[in-house]
Structure 1
Amino acid sequence: MNPLFVSQEEVFSFYKNGDRVEQKTEVRFDPLTGESSRLVVDPGMQPAKTDYFEEGVETGGDQCPFCPENLEAFTPVFPKEISPEGRIRKGESVVFPNLFPYSKHNGVVVLSEEHYVTLKNFTIPMMRDAFQAAQQYIQQVLRSEEEVMYASINWNYLPEAGGSILHPHLHVVVSEAATNYQSLFDRKSRAFQENHGIEYLAWLYDQEKDGERWIGEKGNTAWMHSFAPKSHYDFQAIFKGLTDITEFKQQDWEDFASGLQAVFLTLQEEGLASFNMSLTFSNEGSPAHARVIPRLSYSGVGTSDMNFFHTLHQEPIVYKNPEKAAAKVRKNFEGDNALP
């Protein structure tokens, strides 16, 4: 293994019913940032409910501001320099301003007229249109700004992932201030190139291609699992050679959506339904990249997947082996499971 993929093992010994037990913890360090992730023994806790069919019926239609009968009346519009029509549309996708913004520019992208969409029903055209609408919004914002801006496309799917409205939607954030992740990535990737003479994501692609954590590639989009995950699963997509939002073509979004379908199918097979996704654009010349992690609570008392390690020590606790996780998605990525 490349020396930049660093891990260390700790062993905890104790006695149970008179027998000595040894449990191993593996601490892995991100090859770019040095941030650690803690791979621990999977206790076998089962995720809580994974469907929201009842809630979908209760919160849809007249009750939902994103459903087609309410969208025009309930959502605001952009100023003319962003969209002369007030909103941006592509297929069933609609982009409009967030009433409670996270940044100077914050567009909400509704993916579909359907109120509740399960993982298996996110089609390639649905996701492609949403990402293209988000792209158009970002490009319009950047044309209107003279300052350096930091852009990302983000997805909280279902309440366990922080989605406050069940209706599927993305958040497009364009800010004068980089997020902690964007700032760290740009700073560390700049240092990586200075130290190693190669751009980090290009190096990562070369290192991971066809390895244990490799998933596959379609067009300009390459998928792999993170060495030091930010959750139990942490699927990464690298957009090879695409460093600017204007470089993305329709086929790139279709290829990305196809990879997402394989990830979604794997999550579903593992009894999971919710996820966070962020697609980030670097200001340092690195390719755009995306990360997808599941979100869940556990059955019983509804235990959150976040604890003090995540929230205060800033170190993820990981129950699933990254190499085994990649193999599961690789099977779906290479198979014929995608919807049209």
Structure 2
Amino acid sequence: MSIEFKKVVNKSSYLDPRKKFEPQTVETEIRWDPLTGKISRIFPFRNLILHRHDWTPFVEESKKRFCPFCPDVLETVTPKFTPDFAPEGRIKVGDAVAIPNLNPYEKYASVVVMSSRHYIPMEEIDVKLMVDSMQASLIYLQKALSYDPAGAAYSSINWNYMPYSGGSLVHPHLQVLAGAEPCTFDKQLLDSSAKYYQTEHGNYWSDLITAEKNNGDRYLGQTGGVHWVSAFAPRHVGEVIGILPGKQTINELTETDLAGFAAGLKNIINYYHSINIVSFNAAIYFAGAEDTGYSIHARIIGRFTIFPLVGSDITHMQVLHDDPWTVALPESIAEGLKKYF
């Protein structure tokens, strides 16, 4: 095992107008992701104090507009899968319904309508809702892989909750993708995992669990077979990674595994709600059978607005420099999260 938690602390000085222009020194950090080597910038001197956001006006406005996912119209206005792909037309598990994406951005793209409810407040998201939705997603991905093994070799399950995350509709839904090639970040994970396996003769993800347990600052706990850690070099505020060691493909995932992911995500969502992070992005990443050194894992990051309804939390650093940044130390996030596990 050779996992390095590398960071550099930088000090910047200025004359502070808040203290009669006396000299002031502040610290920031640059951290390197132990797997990919990508940097993350952390500004821990900023206090992440978010006010409770009331979605009610936005939700009420959305109800006045057409929503294709609501039960009174879903059967008539949403597309169906072709008979050779899914003879049933739509894939249903509990209250969740998987349908083709009218505007696909991958060869195989499904939207999973998670519930018949138009709006589900964060605190009311439950494990069954997530398990049923992920099960519908998994059935779709397995069908795609069986139907077109080369064209659906790489896949993911993705969730944009509420508008700050980039979600276009209030109605809760997942974006499920499969294609011949992995997405850019997914490929970095796959390539770096394979390189670690070749050089270290071990699985990075299993080694990471061991290293974080030994470190103690960021390891959160376990839900079923899934281990959760606060990301050392987060891609955004409050990033948490859930790792399922020993499994890497969609055909290895069981309903018990999905329940483990859902239970952990529920804990994190409850924590986000407690600190007024009202939106999030989440994803589950898979590998192909021929890949080496990989483990299925999930990531979730919090999303917020810097100023109510107008300030984006995505800046030039992410978009034009590909440098993630966050305003909260991962160790502080872990400290707050541990009681939820």
Stretches of structure 1 lacking an aligned partner (at least 5 in a row): 334-340
**Matched AA of 1:314:** D
Equivalenced residue count is 332
Q: In the alignment, which residue of structure 1 is the partner of 2:248?
A: 243
Q: Is the 8 A contact 1:62 1:69 kept in 2?
A: no
**Which secondary structure does the structure 2 equivalent of 1:177 belong to?**
coil
Q: In the alignment, which residue of structure 2 is the partner of 1:12?
A: 12
Change (3 A) 1:301 1:14: farther
Q: CA deviation at 1:91?
A: 0.3
Match of 1:273 among 258, 272, 278: 278
Q: CA deviation at 1:302?
A: 2.1
What is the TM-score when the length of structure 2 is the normalising length? Answer: 0.93
Change (3 A) 1:9 1:145: same
Please give the alpha-carbon distance, in whole angstroms, between the structure 1 residues aligned to 2:309 and 2:126.
34
Q: CA deviation at 1:293?
A: 0.4
Deviations 1:124-183 (A, max 9, x none): 111110000101000000000131611000001111101001000000000112110111
Choose 303-312 or 291-300, whichever is displaced more: 291-300
Q: Is the 8 A contact 1:45 1:298 kept in 2?
A: no
Q: In the alignment, which residue of structure 2 is the partner of 1:112?
A: 115
Q: In the alignment, which residue of structure 2 is the partner of 1:202?
A: 206
Please give the alpha-carbon distance, in whole angstroms, between the structure 1 residues aligned to 2:98 and 2:322.
33
Q: CA deviation at 1:46?
A: 4.7
**Matched AA of 2:249:** D
Q: In the alignment, which residue of structure 2 is the partner of 1:316?
A: 324
Q: In the alignment, which residue of structure 2 is the partner of 1:337?
A: none
Deviations 1:46-67 (A, max 9, x none): 5476332233233238721101
Q: CA deviation at 1:192?
A: 0.8
**Which secondary structure does the structure 1 equivalent of 2:323 belong to?**
coil
Q: Is the 8 A contact 1:87 1:96 kept in 2?
A: yes
Structure-to-structure mapping, 1:76-225, within 5 angstroms: 76-147=79-150, 149-209=153-213, 211-225=216-230
**Matched AA of 2:186:** Q
Q: In the alignment, which residue of structure 2 is the partner of 1:43?
A: 46
What is the TM-score when the length of structure 1 is the normalising length? Answer: 0.93
Please give the alpha-carbon distance, in whole angstroms, between the structure 1 residues aligned to 2:190 and 2:284.
14
Q: CA deviation at 1:15?
A: 1.3
Please give the alpha-carbon distance, in whole angstroms, between the structure 2 residues aligned to 1:7 and 1:103.
36
Please give the alpha-carbon distance, in whole angstroms, between the structure 1 residues aligned to 2:3 and 2:100.
46
Stretches of structure 2 lacking an aligned partner (at least 5 in a row): none
Match of 2:28 among 25, 28, 31: 25
